[in-house]
Structures are given as structure tokens and as C-alpha cells.
Amino acid sequence: MLGYDKIRQANYFHKIHLNELKNEGLVSNEEHSVIEKNMGPAYNTTNIFVNIGLFILTYVIVSSALGFLGLLLSDVISEQNGWVFSLIVAVGLLFFLQKVIIDDRKNFRSGIDDALLYGGIGFLCLAFFILFETVFFNDPLKSCLFFIPLLGLPAKIYQDRLLYGLTLFSIYSVFFLLFHKLGGVFLLLIPFGLMLLSFIFYRFSTTKASKVEFEADQECWEVIQWISIIVFYLSGNIFVVTELSTELGLVDAFPKAIKLFFYGFTIVIPLLYIFHGLKNKKLIFLNLGLALIAVGVFSIKYYHNLMSLELALLLGGIALLAVAYSAMRYFKNGKWNITTEPDNNLTDGLNLESIVIDQTLSKVGDIDTKFKGEGGKFGGGGASGAY
Amino acid sequence: MKRTLKYLLLHGVINDETHGKLDSYIEGKPLSIFWHIRILLYLGVTLIATALGILIYENIDTIGHLSIVVLIGLTCIACFVYSFKKAPDISADKSEPANPWFDYIVLFGTLLFLTFEGYLQFQYSIFGERYGMATFLPAMVLFGIAYRFDHLGVLSLAITLFCSWLGISLTPKSLFTENDFSTTNLVITGMLLCVILIGAGYYSVKEKFKAHFHFTYYNFGMHLGAVAILAAGFNFSFGWIWMLLISPLILFAYWYSQTYKSFYFLLFGFGYTYIAISYIVVEVFIGIDSDYIFSAYLLMTYFIATAIYAIKFLRSAHKKMNEDAGV
């Protein structure tokens, strides 16, 4: 059977949730041990640092092994048969992934399986690219059509979030290129078409995410949700629309009313996302809404320099503090079932925050570089020896 | 989560009543926007401090200039008056902020202080030609602020400022991009700072004086020391001798990872060791053979074998750490 063992996979998620229940004090240590003992086989859980380490090391092994093979077969491999070599490597990597890493070594989201999967798919794409370079890959539309099954099939089999996302991008690209090819009024319909498509994808992925049997599938559909929410916004963002129209030779093609609609869309949609996220406790909308507000402000500022940079920063800063203050006051008593209290361990977050502060704010007070050009700056100027 | 509760119910681990209770608890659990508010506060403070920093110099020859300087000075004083008023009593332990604003008012005051001090040096050369003083004194003030108000962010800024006084850039990005460790002096300074920082972290824990600051000290110390030593190994002749100097640092990273169950330190310690050993091995292998073909085979075999070993090591270390932690 291709893909992961569904029982082990389900138990993998049960283990994670059991730990969460234990950390919240809803399951005692004793209960936790008993449940885990009786749970049956499960894939091992890891953490992000292990995953990153194993991912990089797997690539070191794969690259070295391929380098070794390449050296051995350097006389045999040529431009004409390069696709055979790529195909053999792809099949070899995917076979090794399935047979050894998943079936025998029981890896799931360990970093090793991800690295091998992406390596295998990469070589598969390369093989097809070399083989069909003149047939398919000289036409972007055909290329994207080709990528949909090439990425979508392994995405489904291995329940991989990145491949799900890439497949969705391929579908978006097909739609975009098709409208581009049709030309005329279809070019003007691209933003609205993408919005409609995103809405459909969002509704579809939401339904799928709530109905699928396995959590790994649910997470994949959640990626589709994320992307469709972002693309929906970007389709009507004034910066994206204007720049894309210019690229497509449609300068000032949209009537003023439509342009005004895009301006409104750029600012209103992130606010609606935030409202929807708070009201319905949907973190995805809240997070994206906050990030997209910044995108919206930059988009409008790009075309309308209403004020100087420093004044914009000052007013923006005051507005952010005002919003934070109002939110703290409004949600103080648990309105809308929202709390301003932390819901997890603070230490890691605070350590990370201190690193971010150091990275972003250590140049405040940096005067000499800008005004004297002598390289004596706080946080690095001294390193040049100019201080 | 709901799938897990259903699983527990189906397997008789919990009864209907417990399932119902847990299910309604999860369903009714409030959504936390704690970190969203902190990000907004952080961005707000950053934008305003940056704006004031620009304003002060953009208007340097105008009538409004002095009022901006006075505004920055007064706001800075106001921030610290508020902070002193609201700050918990001085304590060697971790102290909780008086309110969610507190940390950001301290940070805002600190940033304004740095802007103000930078301006005074730029316009009036208050430290004259002693540029070192213009960095060292604010660093000491920032350490004072960090300890008085128990602020990890200001502590990081203080450490960075202190290192820049000695000529080393220590922000996470600039550590790798802006330092030129091609002079022995800078490498030795880097190593010395590494010892000082790790020593400060150790002292914090040993004396139980703001023990929770230890991660910040250790983190900066480990990365700075490792980057300085590795750069020396790459740049200087007899690089392998420099590389050997990394061993105490690796032992420290291993000790920390075992003591505090920190996979982060284990991973970086292991990564730095791998780079150091691989560098020596590459140097040796390249010297073996003049047309490099045999060396290439050897090197690839080396990387395959060591990476397999590394994977095994990291997995078993993670497993052991989890078992020790009872996860």
C-alpha cells in the first residue's frame, strides 16, 4: 500500500492531543501513561528542531549519494539520456521512501520522509521536463496542466501539505493563463474570476476539512483554506490589480468605479477577516487579517503618498497602540469568548520575542552611519573598526 | 482533538460523562489573543520610536527641532517614571509585569533613551572623541533597565550594545553577515565575549539572580563563540588547531541540552561540531590526491556515513530526552 499506515498516523495525532490534554490538567499523568500504553502502534512524534536537522541531513546523504553515482556514471550520462537517469533516481528515492523509511522505519513527518518525497518529486519533474521539453514545457499553460496530476497525486497519497499547496497554485495558474490566452474581456475578469475560484476553494476545503476521517487530510485541506483566503484578498488588492494590469498592457482599463471598489476591497476585506476571526473564533482569519492590514496599508501608500514617512510611522504606531489598548479593554471580561490571557507556556515565546527585539530594534539610535557615513553604528559599526 | 476524545470514548478509556465534559470544555474554551496584542504593542512602539528617530534628524535645522528633542526627552522620562511607579519590588527572581502594557512602556522608554543619547552625541558630542563611551555607557544603562524591570528584550539589546562596544555585531542576522573575523584580535574578542556571556548565564543560575536570564546569555554566547572559532578555522593557517578550540563550547552545549532538556542547544552544538570536523576532514582528503577524483569519492562516502550517523544520533537523543522528561 502506498502512503502512510492510517492507524499509526491516527495514533500519532492522538498522542499529540493526549499530551495537550495532560498539559491542561484534563488527563492525569497516570491516565496518560495507561492510555498511551494501550493505544497501539503509532508513529513517533518529533519537534521542529529534529525535523529541520533530519531534513538537512537527508539532503546531505541524497546529494552525496547522487554525486557518487554521477561520478561513477559520468561517461554514461548524456543530454539525450539524462531523463532516464532522473527517472531512475526519482523512482529509487520514492521506492526507498515507501519501503524503507515509511514501511520499515515508521517515519511520519520526521523530516527524512519529507526530504525524500520532495527529492523524488523534484527528479520526477526534471525527468518529464527533459523528456517533454519541446512538447509541453514551452507552453506555460500546458506545463501547469501537467503539474496538477504530477504534484496532486503524491500530495493525496502522502498527505503532504506543501504539495497540496503547490497543486492549488498550479490550478490557479491554469485558470490565470487560460484567461490570459482568451484575452479581451477575459483579461479584465481575471481578478473577479480568481475571487470566485478562491471562494469556491475555500468553501470546498472547509467542507472537506470538517468531513475527512483523518487528521492528516484535514491539515492538508486547511492549507487550501489558508491559500484561498490569501488569494481571494490579493485578487482584489489594488497594488496587485494595478501592477498586473500594467504587465498585461491594460493601463487604466478599469473604470473609476471599479478602481474605487478595489481600493475599498484592499482595506475592508482584512478588517472583515479580523471581525469574522474574532466573532467565530477562527484563528486563521484573525492572523491573516492582521497581516493583510499591513499589506493593504502599504498597497495604498504605494500610490498615494498622503504624508511623510515619519508621520505615517508615527500615526501608524499610535493607531496600533490604540487598537491594542481597546482590544485589551473590550475583551477583558471574556466577551465573545475571547481572552487576553496566554493559553500556553510563556517562556519559549518570551525568549523568541527577545531575539526578535534584538534583531529589529538594535539599530535604534544608529546615527553615525546615516549622518556621517563613518560606519560607527550600534550593533555592528564597531566591527568595522571605525568606532 | 475531537477525534482523540472519540477514540478514548470508543476504547472505553473515558465514559460518556467525561467525554461530554471534555468535549464541552474544548468547545467552550476561549480564544486567546495574548500574542496578537503583544505583537500590536511591539509594532506600535517600534513604529513610534522609529518615527521619532527620523523626525529628530529630518528637522535638525528647523525651529521645530528643539521641540521634538524635548518631546523625546520628556516622553522617555515619563516612560521611566511610570515604569518605576508600577514596577514590582526589586527581586532576584522572575517578576511578573504590573500589566500587559508594562513591558512595552519599558521598551519604548529604552528606545527613546537610545535615540536621545545618539542625538546628543551626534549634535553636541557629549562624549567627544571617546566613541567607545557613547556605546559602553548606554549598554550599562540598558543592563540596569533589564535587571530592574525584568525585561528580556532590553537585556538582549544591552548584550548587543555591549558587544558592539568591543567591535562585534551580535544581532542574529548580522552575527553571520557583518562581522569580519579575519583578524586575530576580533576572533579573540569574540571568544572572550563568549566566555563572559556564558559566565554571566552560569552566574545567574548559580546565584539564583534573575536565573531566567540564563537562556539569553547562553544563546548569544554559544553562537558568538562558535562563529568566531569557525571563522578563525576557515581564515587562518593551521585552521584545524582553531577548530579544536570549539570542543569546550560543544561540551557546554551538550551539558546544557541534557540539563535543561533543550534540543535547540543539542542541534546547534551538533551542527557546529559537524562543520568543524568536516572542515578538517575535507582539508585532509583534498590533500591526499592531486587530481581530486579519489578525494571526491572519499568525501562523498564520508558525508553519507556521517550524515547517517548524525540522523541516528539526533533521533536517539530526542527519544532519550522525551523519556527523561516523561513525555
Chain A residue closest in CA terms to B55: A310
Round to the nearest angstrom and report the end-to-end CA distance of chain A.
Answer: 65
% of chain A residues with pLDDT over 90: 57
Q: Which of A90, A151, A376 is nearest to B135 (CA)?
A: A376
What is the rounded distance in angstroms from the CA atom of residue B107 to the CA atom of residue B151?
A: 8
Query: A8 with A106: CB under 8 angstroms?
Result: yes
Tell me the pLDDT band of A387, cut-offs 50, 70 and 90.
very low
Give the per-residue pLDDT at A361: 65
Q: H or E stretch including B270?
A: helix B263-288
Q: How high is the ipTM of this complex? A: 0.81
E-strand ranges in chain B read 31-32
The minimum CA-CA distance between B33 and chain A, rounded to whole Å, is 5
Tell me the pLDDT band of A372, cut-offs 50, 70 and 90.
very low
pLDDT tens sequence across A27-84: 788 888 888 787 888 898 888 888 999 999 999 999 999 999 988 888 888 877 888 9
Say yes or no for a CB contact (<8 Å) between A314 and B52.
yes
Cβ atoms within 10 Å of B298's Cβ, excluding its own: 17
Segments of chain B scoring below 50 in pLDDT:
327
User: What's the CA angle centered on B46, arms B43 and B51, to 5 degrees?
Assistant: 125
User: What's the CA angle centered on B232, arms B230 and B233, to 5 degrees?
Assistant: 60
Chain B residue closest in CA terms to A218: B3
The minimum CA-CA distance between B22 and chain A, rounded to whole Å, is 8
HSE value, Cβ hemisphere, 13 Å, CA-based, for A69:
13
Q: Is the pLDDT score of A385 beyond 80?
A: no
Q: H or E stretch including B148?
A: helix B131-149
Give the per-residue pLDDT at A65: 94
Q: Among B143, B152, B308, which would you mutate to test the A interface (most chain A Cβ atoms within 10 Å of its Cβ)?
A: B152
% of chain B residues with pLDDT over 70: 95
Whole-structure pTM value:
0.84
Secondary structure of chain B: what % helix, strand, coil (to 5)? 80, 0, 20
Cβ atoms within 10 Å of A337's Cβ, excluding its own: 13
Give the per-residue pLDDT at A64: 94
Q: Where are the alpha helices (DSSP H) in chain A?
A: 6-23, 29-38, 48-72, 82-96, 112-131, 140-158, 161-182, 185-211, 215-236, 238-247, 256-279, 283-303, 309-330, 346-361, 368-371
A and B: number of Cβ contacts within 8 A: 291
Say yes or no for a CB contact (<8 Å) between A359 and B132.
no
Q: Is the pLDDT score of A183 beyond 90?
A: no
Q: Tell me B89's DSSP state.
A: P
Say yes or no for a CB contact (<8 Å) between B315 and A50.
yes
Chain B residue closest in CA terms to A57: B307
Tell me the pLDDT band of A369, cut-offs 50, 70 and 90.
very low
DSSP states along A13-41: HHHHHHHHHHHTTSS-HHHHHHHHHHS--
Which residues make Cβ contacts (< 8 Å) with residue A335, sequence separation at least 6? none
Say yes or no for a CB contact (<8 Å) between B167 and A385.
yes
Q: H or E stretch including A338?
A: strand A338-339
What is the rounded distance in angstroms from the CA atom of residue A188 to the CA atom of residue A201?
A: 21
Query: A25 with A17: CB under 8 angstroms?
Result: no
Q: Which of B3, B33, B153 sits opposite A340 (nearest CB)?
A: B33
Tell me the pLDDT band of A365, cut-offs 50, 70 and 90.
low
Torsion sign, CA atoms A55, A57, A58, A60: positive
Say yes or no for a CB contact (<8 Å) between B54 and A310.
yes
Say yes or no for a CB contact (<8 Å) between A341 and B38.
no
Q: Which of A113, A128, A4 is nearest to A59 (CA)?
A: A113
Give the per-residue pLDDT at B283: 87
Q: Which of A26, A382, A294, A319 is nearest to B171 (CA)?
A: A382
What is the rounded distance in angstroms from the CA atom of residue B183 to the CA atom of residue B31?
A: 53
Q: Which of A64, A324, A359 sits opposite B303 (nearest CB)?
A: A64
Three-class SS of residue A339?
strand
Q: What is the 3-state secondary structure (H, E, C) of A167-179?
A: HHHHHHHHHHHHH
Which residues make Cβ contacts (< 8 Å) with residue A378, sequence separation at least 6? A362, A363, A364, A365, A366, B114, B118, B135, B138, B160, B161, B164
Residue type, position A117, single letter:
L
pLDDT tens sequence across B257-315: 989 888 889 999 999 999 999 999 998 888 777 777 888 889 999 999 999 999 999 99
DSSP states along B15-70: -HHHHHHHHHHHHHPPEE-HHHHHHHHHHHHHHHHHHHHHHHHHTTTSTHHHHHHH
What is the rounded distance in angstroms from the CA atom of residue A147 to the CA atom of residue B171?
A: 41
Q: Is the pLDDT score of A375 beyond 50?
A: no
Give the per-residue pLDDT at A381: 32
What is the rounded distance in angstroms from the CA atom of residue A327 to the CA atom of residue B31?
A: 13
The minimum CA-CA distance between B38 and chain A, rounded to whole Å, is 8
DSSP bridge pairs for A338 = B31
Which residues make Cβ contacts (< 8 Å) with residue B143, sequence separation at least 6? B155, B158, B162
Q: Is the pLDDT score of A350 beyond 80?
A: no
Say yes or no for a CB contact (<8 Å) between B314 and A50.
yes
Give the per-residue pLDDT at A62: 95
What's the mean pLDDT when you consider all of chain A? 86
Q: Is the pLDDT score of A339 beyond 60?
A: yes
Q: Which of A165, A143, A139, A141 is nearest to A152 (CA)?
A: A165
Q: Which of B146, B269, B113, B149 is nearest to B216 (CA)?
A: B146
What is the rounded distance in angstroms from the CA atom of residue A12 to the CA atom of residue A18?
A: 10
Q: Which of B4, B38, B212 sits opposite A18 (nearest CB)?
A: B4
pLDDT tens sequence across A216-227: 999 999 999 999
